[in-house]
Amino acid sequence: MPDIIIIVIIVMALAFDYINGFHDIANVISTSVSTRALTPRAAVWLASILNFLGAMCSTGVAKTIGGDIVVSSQMSNDNVLISALIAALFGAIFWNLITWWLGIPSSSSHALIGGIIGAVSVAKGYHALKMEGIISIITALILSALIAIITGFIIMIIMYWVVAKLAPTKINAKFRRMQILTAAMMSFAHGSNDAQKSMGVITLALVTAGCIPTMDVPTWVKLAAATAMGLGTSAGGWRIIRTMGGKIFKLEPVSGFAADLNSAIVIFCATLLHLPVSTTHVVSGSIMGVGSAKRINAVHWNVAQQMITAWILTIPCSAVVSAIAYKTIRLVFC
């Protein structure tokens, strides 16, 4: 297999990681920026550094992405699968850029998984997909958002009980400082889960090309993906930050603290279980849960509805784009 093809897929996977970094920066810092716990510049730097460190902490999610979606992950020198992975990355990148431009918080995880499903099913047929693994991954993506809403509601109720007798000015001052800690936790958690998705695609490509024998992620792949994620985070994604920071629910320091704490816990648990989750879904769910604890109509449900629509459309749309991209690649180059 020509080395140039492997280089192309590595570059595209790292480009996806970079775009994922600035696309999902809103998930990490929107709450702390909107409550003025951190300045935008300080929040971006904090998120960039801890995203990098989080990406280096484990590879369980990468193995799930690389090994639980495609049956033929152990096949060597499979040009068709390599072409499909390139098309999958193209579809995921395309969808991420479109939703970023429109300011819609969509899921990079959904886009990548949808891209792989669309491209591989067209390239090799549905029999090449591990349906059990795909169902498990999609279930985790959906449940994580629902869990985040429920636990966000519970944590916020506990927070209200804790601060019930404190003066509002004292509450805001305390929780602004504490938000720095939860923003750091959220940044580390984001890197620990999201950067591994590109690691999984690169490792799958290397196994398929016969460059490495197993789905164990090489150290240089971890470093490259972590660096791409960190650099992307430093670029910022201010369009989505405006949506996440205030359009769902007007956050205060105590509610921002609760949302970040809840999101970090949910994502950490998923990473420990080697499950890829959408940080966009988890953070959005946390904000909805926290807002509902104040009162149901405090949440701007029309904005939430638009986001949910984008979530539902992400997998099929990225799958279609990736399928078309695969057909185009085979038509032009084969």
- 119 has a pLDDT exceeding 90: yes
Are 81 and 120 within 8 A, CB to CB? yes
Average pLDDT over every residue of 305-323: 83
pLDDT tens track for 275-306: 888 887 888 888 888 888 887 776 767 766 76
- Mean of per-residue pLDDT scores for the chain: 83
The Cα 322–Cα 85 span in angstroms is 9
- 151 has a pLDDT exceeding 90: yes
Q: Look at residues 19, 156, 43 and name the one whose alpha carbon lies nearest to residue 98.
A: 19
pLDDT tens track for 50-84: 989 988 887 888 888 877 888 755 455 677 888 88
pLDDT at res. 109:
82
HSE-up of 209 (CA within 13 Å, CB side)? 22
pLDDT at res. 245:
47
- Percentage of the chain beyond pLDDT 70 is 88
pLDDT at res. 15:
92
In sequence order, what are the beta bridge partners of 70? 129
The Cα 141–Cα 107 span in angstroms is 10
pLDDT tens track for 224-259: 999 998 888 777 655 555 555 445 556 788 888 998
pLDDT at res. 110:
85
- Percentage of the chain beyond pLDDT 90 is 24
**Dihedral (C-alpha) 98, 301, 249, 288: value to the nearest 10 degrees?**
-90
pLDDT tens track for 10-58: 999 999 988 887 777 666 777 777 777 887 778 888 888 898 998 888 7
pLDDT at res. 72:
56
pLDDT at res. 32:
78
pLDDT at res. 224:
94
Are 20 and 115 within 8 A, CB to CB? no
Q: What φ, ψ does residue 129 adopt, rounded to 5°? A: -95, 140
